[in-house]
Amino acid sequence: MSLDEKNWFTEIAEEAGTAFSLRVNECLHRERSDYQDIAVYQTTKFGRLLVIDGYVMLSDRDNFLYHEMLVHPALFTHAAPRRVAIVGGGDCGSLTEVLRHDDVVSAVQIEIDERVTRVAERWFPGLCTGAADPRAELLFDDGIEWMKRAPSGSLDVIIVDSTDPIGPAAGLFNAAFYTECRRVLATGGILVQQSESPLLHLDLIHDMRAAMAEAGYGALATLTFPQPVYPSGWWSATMARTGANLNGFRETAAERRKFKTRYYSAAVHHASLALPPFMQEALD
């Protein structure tokens, strides 16, 4: 990460040989928490920008793509998503999307770094509206340890809204964690996790799916969507469950949803599951 003399914020992806830049007006906030460096910039075209350890987390302009596609496909695929847990997701964007579903009776967010949430509350208040919902619970804890303590069969949907598989998030991308999630999920439960770029991180997606299969999930589905501020501009989420396949969803409910979305729709849900041949071949 760098900020040059002309006020361009640049995130360099060394492993991909690429870089992504946004012009900024100023740094609004910067601090070192117990876990990571957290910064907020005001950009010229993408609104405010949240950066952790030099990596872009979200922008005002395009975060809806990620939050809608991480949440709504999984919740509309589940028959009755009443009890939801979000591991990570400290900016509260996924929590807010979850609580737009009337079916949900409880949603707990387990974020290891409280400072991410407090920074989001100040600089991204629109993402945090769900935190005030009486169905919401914010916990500041290690998601891996929390999952070990959670009662068996107590959740319908688990959403892993983590950073890249480095640092505090590294333990969220392996069979041991997926096995705990499977234990905590009730019959028909769904696990969904952000799974990086299909163009740059296909090996990671393959390994995630292999670890999920090893943990006992018989049905897997990776969906893709655009995400301009992330490396390659193309991102993915992977769903898993032990029972029926993940291709069907409550299409009528999705079409007649009572809340507005900017990207997600029943048609987009179908389209996101249609993988291009190079992905299908690599993931089969």
CATH architecture of 63-283: 3-Layer(aba) Sandwich (3.40)
Q: b/e string for 169-185 if b means 16 or more Cβ within 10 A? A: beebbbbebbbbbbbbb
| Residue 62 designated active-site | no
> Where in the chain are the domains?
2-59, 63-283
Distances (CA, A) of 92 to 32, 71, 157, 263: 20, 12, 16, 18
Catalytic residue (one of 53, 103, 161, 164): 161
Asked if 2-59 and 63-283 have one fold, the answer is: no
Per-residue model confidence as pLDDT tens for the chain (284 residues): 455 657 899 999 888 899 999 999 999 999 999 999 999 999 999 999 999 999 999 999 999 999 999 999 999 999 999 999 999 999 999 999 999 999 999 999 999 999 999 999 999 999 999 999 999 999 999 999 999 999 999 999 999 998 776 666 677 789 999 999 999 999 999 999 999 999 999 999 999 999 999 999 999 999 999 999 999 999 999 999 987 789 899 999 999 999 999 999 999 999 999 999 999 999 98
- Just give the CATH number of 2-59: 2.30.140.10
